[in-house]
Chain A
Amino acid sequence: MTPKARRWLFAIGMAGLVACYLWAFHGLPGFGNYPGPYGPEILSRAIPETNATGVVSAINFDYRGFDTVGEEFILFAAAAGMSVVLRRLRGEREQEQDHSPADEVMHRNVAPTSSALRVAALILVGPTALIGWWLATHAQTNPSGGFQGGVILASAFMLVYLSGESIAFRRLSPVHLLDVAEAMGAGGFAAVGLAAVVQGLPFLYNYLPLGQSPGAVSSSGTIALISFLVGIEVAAAFMLIVGELLEQTLLRREGSS
């Protein structure tokens, strides 16, 4: 199909979509007039029931915990799928130096990482890891949680790579350790849920002591525990994903140079 024909077909489809969209939104309550019964109900129950002042976390890790198990395993499957898709093809070997493919194509000399970048990146590693850890462990009180914390925790390790220490990065994130961490995070979440079933309670029931007062770090029972496990899983999954992609820059087809 020619690009022009594609555009025409797209215009026809868009016209239909716009018409359906306008029809769908006609008669909806306007912006700011949310009428749903579910949100206000949870807002009035969440704190007395779970002792978590972070209601979004209470929904994610308690009320809708079952969904979050699935969500976590989507990420788990994506990390596993990537290592299958990016398996080493026949005729690929690892390159000795770590030049990026773009640099090779252009046959240019790669400038070494500047000292300023290296120092700045390495200085940021500690604070970034601390923020990630704090977010992963404070889901029950503040706007945070395992997903956000895990990503930031993983980016602390990316900073090591950015500083040009790709060998140090590999030593810091050995794949088999990451695999174990990821499996422990994902399996731990399921295990917390199943432990409730063993006690004769519904799956993912919040059976741990809820703590004395809402807003304390030790409050909210399984919400805090699950958030922490999710943090580990997400950090490991993202390090695996980024590690896989970075490894591709070190691969080179045999015979290409």
Chain B
Amino acid sequence: MTVFPFLVVAWIVAVGLYGLITSRDLIHQIVCLIVVQSSTYVLLLGVGYVTGGVAPYFYDIGRRALAVDPVVQALALTDVVVEAAVTALLLSLAVQAHKRFGTLDPHDLAEFKG
């Protein structure tokens, strides 16, 4: 099952996208976007995994121990931070939308446009 992690990635993307297009609530939609983005963590960590490798921290193990790729782990950390920033901004936009229009339903919000 060497492709299993990559199928999980595809599944998380698909579930999140389905939630995004069917959602009737902005907060729920933001959560769906987080689900889509969390697939990238699985992808990054899956790509860098080495069979039998340990975490790339050598505080109490030998320097020559087989370790997984540390670069994708650093990228995953960047990913988490960006996601937190994006989520915070989207939530504040949802708060303002609710204040202005009194609804969080994207379908109703579309009618206020123009």
Residues of A within 8 A of B (CB): 3, 6-7, 10, 14, 17-18, 21, 25, 28, 30-34, 36, 38-40, 42-43, 46-47, 53-56, 58-60, 64, 67-68, 71-72, 74-75, 77-79, 81-82, 85-86, 89, 92, 141-143, 145, 147, 151, 214-215, 234, 238, 241, 244-245, 248, 253
Please report whether the interface of chain A is mostly helix, strand, loop or mixed according to DSSP.
helix
In the bound complex, CA of A92 to CA of B81 (Å): 32
Residue picked from B1, B17, B63, most chain A C-beta under 10 Å: B63
Contact with A along B1-33 (1 / 0, CB 8 A): 111111000100110011001100000000000
In the bound complex, CA of A54 to CA of B74 (Å): 11
> Which chain A residue has the least Cβ–Cβ distance from B6?
A25
Given the contacts A10-B18, A14-B14, A147-B77, A42 and B70 also touching, CB distance less than 8 Å: yes
A39 with B85: CB separation less than 8 A: no
> Which chain B residue has the least Cβ–Cβ distance from A31?
B2
Shortest Cβ distance from residue B6 to the other chain A in the assembled complex, whole angstroms = 5
User: Among B74, B95, B99, which residue has its beta carbon within 8 angstroms of that of A56?
Assistant: B74
Please report whether the interface of chain B is mostly helix, strand, loop or mixed according to DSSP.
helix
Given the contacts A32-B51, A147-B80, A248-B95, A85 and B89 also touching, CB distance less than 8 Å: yes
B59 with A53: CB separation less than 8 A: yes
> Residues of B contacting A14 with CB < 8 Å?
14, 17
- B57 contacts chain A at the CB level, 8 A cutoff: yes
In the bound complex, CA of A28 to CA of B77 (Å): 24
User: Among A32, A39, A248, which residue has its beta carbon within 8 angstroms of that of B70?
Assistant: A39
User: Among A39, A55, A78, A151, which residue has its beta carbon within 8 angstroms of that of B48?
Assistant: A39
Shortest Cβ distance from residue B45 to the other chain A in the assembled complex, whole angstroms = 10
A79 with B88: CB separation less than 8 A: yes
A25-B6, A64-B71 given; name 19 further pairs at CB < 8 Å.
Answer: A6-B22, A10-B21, A31-B5, A33-B50, A34-B47, A34-B50, A36-B71, A38-B71, A47-B58, A55-B67, A56-B77, A59-B71, A75-B84, A77-B85, A79-B88, A86-B96, A142-B59, A145-B77, A245-B95
In the bound complex, CA of A68 to CA of B77 (Å): 10
Can you offer 18 A-B residue contacts whose CB atoms are under 8 A? Answer: A3-B22, A25-B3, A31-B1, A31-B4, A32-B2, A33-B51, A36-B69, A38-B69, A39-B48, A39-B69, A39-B70, A46-B70, A53-B58, A59-B71, A75-B84, A75-B85, A81-B89, A82-B89
> Residues of B contacting A244 with CB < 8 Å?
92
> Which chain A residue has the least Cβ–Cβ distance from B61?
A53
Residue picked from B46, B67, B80, B88, most chain A C-beta under 10 Å: B88
> Residues of A contacting B55 with CB < 8 Å?
143
In the bound complex, CA of A42 to CA of B72 (Å): 12
Shortest Cβ distance from residue B84 to the other chain A in the assembled complex, whole angstroms = 7
